[in-house]
Structure 1
Amino acid sequence: MLFIIFLLLFYIPNCLTLKCYDGYGDIETLGIISCLSQYCVSGILEDGTRYHTCPSNSYCTWGSGCMRTKEAGEIFACCCDTDYCNESYSYLKINYLIILILIFIILFK
């Protein structure tokens, strides 16, 4: 009986937390963390470094999605709210491409 109680106490918090990739660089080199926040985040820093982590609850004020930001020294940050959702950069690449196209249109009108 004590063993069952221990298992429940160990597994219930793990089931209720969001799983996020954590670290810098390529997805193959990242760890996985249990996140008590509502969101996982991934982004690109000013020096081009890609990062993935679990932010504080106050970080993703815009909810799920991507935006250009300078809050923590990054150019783009994307917040998402499902397990392992911060692994892909396809949404970052699309947003970055859209911004580059808009800049090109404005500069070379």
Structure 2
Amino acid sequence: MVTPDSVDVVQRFMRAFQEQDRATAEALMAEGFVFTSPQDDHIDKQSWLERCFPTADHFDAPSETLQIVEVDGVVLHRYEYRVDGRRWRNTEALEVRDGQVTSAEVYFGGAVD
């Protein structure tokens, strides 16, 4: 069930990734968590923690939220980040149930500059 706290859960989950706070990230992820991106096709929680979670140091600085909104049970999070001095944008669609993220789909955007 989506609650008004869904956006807050996603913000805390993103912050845990950026700060590499694995305990908080794991607590915010449902056991059946599924992650999909152009590079990862429906990987599970453990695979995401091993493959994706440690990559926060790839970014020059924490990402900046441009928009975050819950629509029809999905939190849409559009953000900007920097890699090697260039700005990029992505959008994620995350589902939250009972205070935990059940799925995340990442859509890669292009360079901004």
Q: Tell me which of the two structures has the higher relative contact order, counting C-alpha pairs closer than 8 angstroms and 6 or more residues apart.
A: 2
Structure 1 or 2: more helix by fraction: 1
Normalised by the size of structure 2, how large is the TM-score?
0.24
Normalised by the size of structure 1, how large is the TM-score?
0.24
